[in-house]
Amino acid sequence: MNVTITTGVSFSSASSFSVRSTDQPSMPGMDGWSVLRTLKDDAELKDTPVVMVTFINDNGLASALGAADYVTKPVRWEQLRQVMERLREAEGHVLIVDDNAETRSQLRTVLERDGWSITEAVNGRDALDKLATQRPKAVLLDLEMPVMDGFAFLHVFREQPGCAEIPVIVITARDLTRQDRKNLQGVNRVLTKGEMQLRKLSKELLQATKHGPTEDL
């Protein structure tokens, strides 16, 4: 059976997938980059992770167009397996607590490409209000915020029913003091803004949600 990419997009619209891969170079009807744009413009498909399989070694382009990852030809099947496994496991709801809109947007973009669903909160008080409607699988927490900072939020959060074991990853630009580290006992990881590699963040979340070891602060 010969299937064009246009047919593939139509089939995708009528089917349920957790991850899609698309071939890129030239293909009859529509090339892979066009498929990616079409999928990301579709309201029902835009949140589905897409992996590009391509001769072109250009992660910047793939990322800019919304691809979750890319694999170059000739395909190394172990690499593709690892990518697909990472995306398959990235299922769950993440609460991002940060007063910086640009940071929240960057985190949301990266994590949604990997299959996570996201809720944003602008400070600790806002985050506690969001908890009333949905319990997250993990929390990404900034420390320095107005109204209620990350330290105060963490203290109250851990006392909420069902929240004691939810993984918390702190993402901060703050130079932590010894007292800060003491106050953060029980968080799973502390990542430094500026040094954090966004593409590794999903891996950190997967480890944390699989009850990985709490970081020794």
The 10 Å Cβ neighbour count of residue 44 is 10
Q: Is residue 215 part of a domain?
A: no
Position 135 scores a pLDDT of 92
The domain total for the chain is 2
**Residue 36 in contact with residue 9, Cβ under 8 Å?**
no
Backbone angles phi, psi at 113, to 5 degrees: -65, -30
**Residue 49 in contact with residue 22, Cβ under 8 Å?**
no
- The residue segments making up the domain with residue 104 are 91-209
Q: Do 113 and 198 share a domain, yes or no? A: yes
Q: Do 205 and 104 share a domain, yes or no? A: yes
SS (H, E, C) the chain: CCCCHHHHHHHHHCCCCCCEEEEECCCCCCCHHHHHHHHHHCCCCCCCCEEEEECCCCHHHHHHCCCCEEEECCCCHHHHHHHHHHHHHCCCEEEEECCCHHHHHHHHHHHHHCCCEEEEECCHHHHHHHHCCCCCCEEEECCCCCCCCHHHHHHHHHHCCCCCCCCEEEEECCCCCHHHHHHCCCCCEEEECCCCCHHHHHHHHHHHHCCCCCCCC
Q: Is residue 217 part of a domain?
A: no
Work out the angle at residue 193's Cα, subtended by the Cα atoms of residues 192 and 195, and round it to the nearest 5 degrees: 70
Q: Do 96 and 131 share a domain, yes or no? A: yes
Q: Do 117 and 168 share a domain, yes or no? A: yes
Cα distances (Å, whole numbers) of residue 37 to 22, 179, 210: 11, 48, 33
Q: Do 54 and 100 share a domain, yes or no? A: no
Position 88 scores a pLDDT of 60
Position 115 scores a pLDDT of 79
CATH of the domain at 59: 3.40.50.2300
Select from 88, 108, 140 the last residue of a domain: 88
Q: Do 41 and 105 share a domain, yes or no? A: no
Residue ranges of the chain whose pLDDT lies below 50: 1-17, 19, 24-27, 212-213, 216-217
Cα distances (Å, whole numbers) of residue 212 to 95, 144, 164, 204: 19, 26, 15, 9
Quote the CA–CA distance of 33 and 25 in Å, as a whole number. Answer: 8
